[in-house]
Amino acid sequence: MNAERGRGAVLHLSAVLILIAGAMWWWRAAPREPVDDRLLGWRRTAEQLLPESGEQQMSGTVAVTGGEGHEEVAAVGSGEFLVSVVCAGEDGSRVRVSLGARETGRGMRCSGSRTPEVFSVGLADELHLRVNVEKAGPVVFRYTLQRLNS
């Protein structure tokens, strides 16, 4: 092996080692999401209260922290729909659910005895579902959307 090839091999090996070290640093520096066991239980509760069915056009489950909000926007086409919502959270937690931009929404309890709230709504093109959590949180919110007419 001549000197020029040896220097090239050392250069390539150094580049690979720097790349590996950078990738390891990036992986280890990424912030860890704290796992809240309560959220797992609340997710299970919400999914049991509002299970998947073959008739649904879409569904979703999301965890939202206290004092914050979440918005789902989905292109669904025009028609009559049945929107079902439920939430699960710590004692005293509540959410406000609205289906339109100018709507103040409807309050729901996320603790105690919970049953899904069901809304019938006519949509022109998109579903705009907004959830605002009151200060007591976090909560797990679940929704389903079912088309009433074909």
**pLDDT, tens digit, 9 for 90 and up, residues 84-98:** 889 998 888 888 888
Q: Which residue has the higher pLDDT, 48 or 137?
A: 48
Q: Can you tell me the mean pLDDT for 31-49? A: 83
Question: Contact, 110 vs 95, CB < 8 A?
Answer: yes
Whether 116 has a pLDDT exceeding 80, the answer reads: yes
pTM of structure: 0.70
Q: Can you give the pLDDT at residue 101?
A: 66
CB neighbour list of residue 65: distance below 8 Å, 6 or more residues apart: 133, 137, 138
